[in-house]
Chain A
Amino acid sequence: MKKLLFLALAGLVAATGASAQTLINGAGATFPQPIYTKWFSEYTKVDPSVTFNYQGIGSGGGQKQILAETVDFGASDGPMSDENLAKASHPLWHIPTVAGAVVVSYNLPDSPQLKLDGETLANIYLGKITKWRDPAIVSQNPDVRLPDIDIVVVHRSDGSGTSYIFTDYLSHVSPEWASKVGKNTSVSWPAGLGGKGNAGVAGQIKQSPGSIGYVELAYAKQNKLPYADLKNAAGNYVTPTIESITAAMATATIPDDFRFSMVNAPGDQAYPIAGTTWLLVYQQQKDPVKGKKLVEFLKWAYNDGEKMAASLDYAPLPDSVKDRVLKRIDEIQF
């Protein structure tokens, strides 16, 4: 009996030893989780010796875990603050992977196609514009019969990268918003109700006539929500699409450390409320085997993985940014 147990145990150990699988752990944002999951499963076909384990615990969690070095890479929808980045014991890099957009959805009879500009949006969220028939909205939508009802503002109650991008945009287009409220994953909203997650906001919008709220583009498309065309910095009303997001990133100013904001980008066809999501990796990898595998995966992701982004409603990086990122990946040491 004991001999059998010993043999079984030895067999088990041998089996796990023989597979020689490298397991790479990551944690962080939920926004890019669908594309990362697809990348991980596609990459296993390219290199079966490596598997990935990714936990969607939120951008804040991703930043905490990579700082604590409990994971091999982190993922965040918002760039790390200087304060948090300073906590890293050795250089920690941001590398952008894909981009998404935040769209403004609403519940009006007959779901008309609305055009809005940044200042109007900011005033709605500041609680200064309270009715749909306000001249600011009517003047931009002369062909739409707007009902004479109150605007019910909806925002996110949970902290999220979507809120970060949205409040970043409002801070750019409205000095009053920038001084009164500011930008963060969670802010002190001057008006409106909070819904939990994209689903909570969408549910609230669907249930409340006259409501307005913001959700991710991918979510709005998959759930067939109406969304508005927004006026960008160049003065054009742009529909949020994969192309207009990539256009925004192509014209955004991107510093060397890749921590940038691409809201209100200057491009002609750029969609104004767009943002990218980052992977957080250390310049000096702890484990040489894992480090090598991680770098190989990253190179594959930028060369081949990016092509899969559009099918999942994410915008791939424009070539100019991709080349810079690949150069940075070359500098990772393991």
Chain B
Amino acid sequence: MNESAAIPASPLLLAAPRRWPDRAFRWVALGAALLIVALIILVGWQLSRGAHLAIAKFGPGFLASAKWDPVTDEYGAWPFIFGTLVSSLIALLIAVPLGVATALFLTEMAPVKMRQPVIMVIEMLAAVPSVIFGLWGIFVLIPWLRDHLFQWIAHSWLGYLPLFKGPIYGVSMLAGGIIVAIMILPIVTSVSREILRSVPNLQREAAYALGATHWEVIRIAVLNYARRGIFGAAVLGLGRALGETMAVTMLIGNRPEVSASLFAPGYTLASVIANEFSEANSDLYISSLFELGLVLLAVTFLVNAAAQLMLRTLTGSGTGKVS
């Protein structure tokens, strides 16, 4: 261990090392970190300033109201909050199992030669712009959903559930959720892969030594150890899902309605802001859109905070004991 690495921990990092390049670097790094915090606070403050007209007029009822009428200047956020949460939840439910399974396959089971090409393909999925996903969705995914998958679901036993009732347009909450799932799949897969790779081999060997089968080793030693990390990957995916705009607005039907059916069209916070902001022609209208932006920021924070809380209480230290 060389002595320049032994830097004493201090709350304000003022216990500076002697050499000036090290000191300078620490200040630059601190500055960068503070800049990010400052940016977030600035964004929140600007949104609040823009939203204050709407906040003053509608108060907390804004969050529960389902009316969105630019003609009578009455606005409410509930259908958009509902749409954002539901589409993100659907995306998570699809992408996390798929992503973790893919990551498991790549780290535990795939022949070595196969791994790199598959990883590359998944990374490329992450590079596709949102609008392209939207276009592909409109011309390829929606017709297939409308004519095949949704019909099949409606005619199977699932069709008795209120979740799958009503007319089938193709564009729907479910379609929005599916496209977001495809978009967050790469991030969930690659982060899970990193997490699974970091599981020490000792854990696996110990499980084998106790007589576990391959699947039991994965379940007991690998997944258990990686619980926290995989949860973190899911939260990262959720963060991206909450903000997805272009692809969602092309596939979700853009109807500010709360419906029990996943086949019904919906609307998300990001979509309505993208659609209506440039043509909003009254001060209260613009202010309400700002307030939706503030709500989206708040929802993102709350969901992340809730996830952190769940992480702490449910998984404990999560540093893998074989039990």
Contact = CB atoms under 8 A, between A and B. Distances in A.
A276 interface: no
A186 B256 CA distance: 13
Interface stretch (A13-21, A110-118, A191-199, A220-228): A191-199
Contact of B253 (A58, A181, A193): A193
A185 B281 CA distance: 8
Size band of the interface chain B makes with A? 20 to 34
Contacts of A157: 249, 254, 271, 275-276
A311 interface: no
Contact of B278 (A150, A159, A189, A207): A159
Interface stretch (B54-62, B136-144, B220-228): B136-144
A207 B142 contact: yes
A187 B70 contact: yes
A160 interface: yes
B3 interface: no
A204 B143 CA distance: 10
Contact of A184 (B71, B167, B256): B71
Interface string B243-264: 0000001100111100000000
Nearest to B172: A193
Contacts of B71: 181-184, 187-188
A185 B249 contact: no
A299 to B, nearest CB: 30
Nearest to A155: B254
A290 B170 CA distance: 52
Contacts of A63: 281
A186 B276 contact: yes
Interface in B46-82: 67-72
A81 interface: yes
Contacts, number: 92
B57 to A, nearest CB: 15
B282 interface: yes
Contact of A204 (B67, B167, B171, B267): B171
A60 B281 contact: yes
Contact of A57 (B69, B254, B267, B278): B278
Contacts of A60: 278-281
B169 interface: yes
B69 A187 contact: yes
B265 interface: yes
Contacts of A193: 169, 171, 253-255, 265
Contacts of B278: 57-58, 60-61, 158-159
A331 interface: no
Given A193-B253, A207-B143, A159 B275 contact: yes
Contacts of A186: 70, 276, 279-280
A194 B275 contact: yes
A227 B314 CA distance: 60
A208 interface: yes
A183 B70 CA distance: 9
Interface string A203-246: 11001100000000000000000000000000000000000000
Contacts of B255: 189, 192-194
A203 B70 contact: no
Given A58-B279, A84-B281, 6 more contacts: A57-B278, A58-B278, A63-B281, A81-B282, A84-B282, A159-B278
Give the 9 A-B residue pairs with the shortest CB-CB distance, closest first: A159-B279, A194-B254, A182-B71, A157-B254, A58-B278, A188-B69, A158-B275, A60-B279, A193-B253
Interface of A: 57-61, 63, 78, 81, 83-84, 150, 152, 157-160, 181-189, 192-196, 200, 203-204, 207-208
30 contacts: A58-B279, A59-B279, A59-B281, A60-B279, A81-B281, A84-B281, A157-B249, A157-B271, A157-B275, A158-B276, A159-B279, A159-B281, A160-B279, A181-B71, A184-B71, A184-B281, A186-B70, A186-B276, A188-B68, A188-B69, A192-B255, A193-B169, A193-B265, A194-B255, A194-B275, A195-B254, A204-B138, A207-B139, A207-B170, A208-B169
Interface of B: 67-72, 138-139, 142-143, 146, 167, 169-171, 249-250, 253-256, 265, 267, 271, 275-276, 278-282
